[in-house]
């Protein structure tokens, strides 16, 4: 199967999963800010690995993944209804802490003391 078709199917699956996750009624999933970080579909479309993350931390992400695993049948059925695929891939949900890690990096960058324009021009004058 050409790689552009796999890429297109991967993006379609990610888009539809984002919409489906808003409809899941499981409190473990509904009560957190859940984000799909990455989706990987195998070449034969038999498996789809979905990496999810939450802003609340890794423990909340693991709890949400348990809820997603219990609702995997419903999610897969809805995915089959929305996409025209011969075979709907089996969904494998994995937690990741990439959103929390990104927020941590952002906080570090915001806390850096950058020199003001006056200080930078003074330092340039000292080196000349």
Q: Are strands 34-41 and 47-54 parallel, antiparallel or unpaired?
A: antiparallel
What pLDDT, on a 0 to 100 scale, did the predictor assign at position 33?
85
Confidence check: pLDDT of 97 > 70: yes
Range of the domain at 67: 3-127
Please give the average per-residue pLDDT across 16-35, as a whole number: 89
Closest CA to 32 of 51, 56, 10: 56
If one counts the domains in the chain, the total is 1
Q: What is the dihedral of CA 12, 82, 86, 24, to 10 degrees?
A: 90
CATH of the domain at 112: 3.30.300.20
Distance CA 115, CA 33 (A): 36
Describe the chain by its helix, strand, coil percentages, rounded to 5: 55, 15, 25
Residue 7 Cα to chain centre, angstroms: 16
**What mean pLDDT, rounded, does the chain reach?**
86
């Amino acid at each position: 199967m050409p790689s552009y078709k796999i890429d297109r199917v991967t993006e379609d699956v990610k888009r539809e999963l984002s919409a489906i996750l808003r409809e899941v009624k499981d409190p473990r999933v509904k009560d957190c800010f859940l984000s799909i970080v990455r989706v990987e579909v195998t070449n034969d479309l038999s498996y789809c690995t979905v990496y999810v993350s939450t802003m609340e931390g890794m423990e909340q992400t693991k709890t949400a993944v348990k809820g997603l695993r219990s609702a995997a049948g419903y999610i897969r059925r809805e995915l089959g209804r929305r996409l025209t695929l011969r075979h709907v891939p089996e969904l494998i949900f994995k937690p990741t802490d990439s959103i929390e890690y990104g927020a941590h990096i952002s906080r570090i960058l915001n806390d850096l003391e950058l020199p003001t324009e006056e200080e930078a021009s003074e330092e340039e004058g000292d080196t000349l």
